Amino acid sequence: MSDVHQEAQIETALAEIKQQLGARDDRIAELEKRLEDQEFSVRSVLDMLIDWLETDTNPAPESDQEAA
């Protein structure tokens, strides 16, 4: 196997590795974006739940008041 042939194989392998790393980085960026979106959704739901609990102005009637 000649040195030129080995160098060509190495260059091909390096190019493939760079392509795979680029694809991996793209996938990581997509997953990070999805995570941010999901975190925003969870925070929004929790904020709505807290607001709902804080603004609930109809306390449950006590059993003594109903009997009177």
Segment 40-68, tens digit of pLDDT: 999 999 999 999 999 986 666 676 655 55
Quick check: is 11 in a domain?
A: yes
Quick check: is 62 in a domain?
A: no
Q: Which residue type, as a one-letter code, is found at position 24?
A: R
pTM for this model (two decimals): 0.62
Quick check: is 20 in a domain?
A: yes
CA–CA separation, 35 and 41 (whole Å): 10
Quick check: is 66 in a domain?
A: no
Q: What is the mean pLDDT of the chain?
A: 90
Quick check: is 33 in a domain?
A: yes
Total of domains in the chain: 1
Quick check: is 57 in a domain?
A: no
Contacts of 19 (CB under 8 A, 6+ apart): none
Count CA atoms closer than 13 A to 36's CA, side-chain side: 6
* Domain assignment of residue 13, given as a range: 3-52
